[in-house]
Chains A and B, each alone.
Chain A
Amino acid sequence: GNSVTQMEGPVTLSEEAFLTINCTYTATGYPSLFWYVQYPGEGLQLLLKATKADDKGSNKGFEATYRKETTSFHLEKGSVQVSDSAVYFCAEGSSASKIIFGSGTRLSIRP
C-alpha cells in the first residue's frame, strides 16, 4: 500500500533558525498532500495543503511545495519560534476515502 516517509525526530533548533522537515510519498498519480500539526495534549489540525503538482501550500510562515518529480512535500520555515514546538505530520490523500499519515516529527525550539 501507499506510504509516507518523513524525517526522524526529535528535531531541536534555536529560535529564529531555519527549519526543514523532509517528507516523501509513494502514491502514484497526483495525490493531495498535507502537513498537520499537533500541539501538546491536542488533536491534529491542518497546517497547509497542496492538491496539484508545483502548488505551494503556506500558513503561519510555513511553506511546502508539491514536487511530483521527487515525490516530495518538504516543510520549511525561515525563522522558527518557541510556539512552533509541536509534532508535525506529513500526509497524502490518493484514495477517495483515506488519508495516510507519516510517523510524525517532534520539533522543539529553544529560546
Chain B
Amino acid sequence: DAGITQSPRHKVTETGTPVTLRCHQTENHRYMYWYRQDPGHGLRLIHYSYGVKDTDKGEVSDGYSVSRSKTEDFLLTLESATSSQTSVYFCAISESGDRPNTGELFFGEGSRLTVL
C-alpha cells in the first residue's frame, strides 16, 4: 500500500475558524492532490501540486489555499471555514511523475470535516 497519511481524520469546527488538513506521503511522488467528496458530485479537484512550491488550482479552489514546502507534505488550508465546506477531503498522490494522466492515483483514507 502507498504510504499516505491524512490528519486529522475527523474534525468539527465553527464557521469562520481556520482549518488546516495535512497529507503526508512516504513514496517521494512528485504529484499530490486534494479532492473533496460530496453526495451527487463525486470527487472534485481543489488544488494539486507538481513539486515543492509548485501548486495550481483545480475546479473548486475558491476558499482554499495549499502549500507544499517539502516533497512529503501537502497542506490544505481553509482560511475561514464555511458550512459549504463540510465534506470529506481526500489526498491523493501519483507515481507517474511527469505523466500522471496515464498512471494510478493512490488515495489516503480521507478527512471528514464538519463546519457548524
Contacts and interface: CB of A to CB of B under 8 A. Distances in A.
Nearest to B38: A103
Contacts of B102: 32, 51, 93
B48 interface: yes
A44 interface: yes
Contact of B31 (A31, A34, A46, A97): A97
Nearest to A99: B105
Given A42-B109, A89-B42, A96 B98 contact: yes
Contacts of A96: 98-101
Interface string A3-23: 000000000000000000000
Nearest to B107: A43
B57 to A, nearest CB: 10
Given A89-B42, A93-B102, A98-B45, A45 B50 contact: no
A95 interface: yes
B90 A44 contact: yes
A111 B68 CA distance: 47
A1 interface: yes
Given A44-B105, A103-B41, A97 B110 contact: no
A32 B101 CA distance: 6
Given A96-B98, A96-B99, A44 B48 contact: no
B104 A49 contact: yes
Interface in B51-79: 56, 58-59
A93 B100 contact: yes
A46 B100 contact: no
A24 B105 CA distance: 20
A45 B40 contact: no
A8 to B, nearest CB: 9
A89 B100 contact: no
A43 B110 contact: yes
A104 B42 contact: yes
Given A97-B101, A100-B45, 9 more contacts: A32-B101, A34-B104, A43-B109, A46-B104, A89-B43, A93-B103, A97-B48, A98-B45, A98-B101
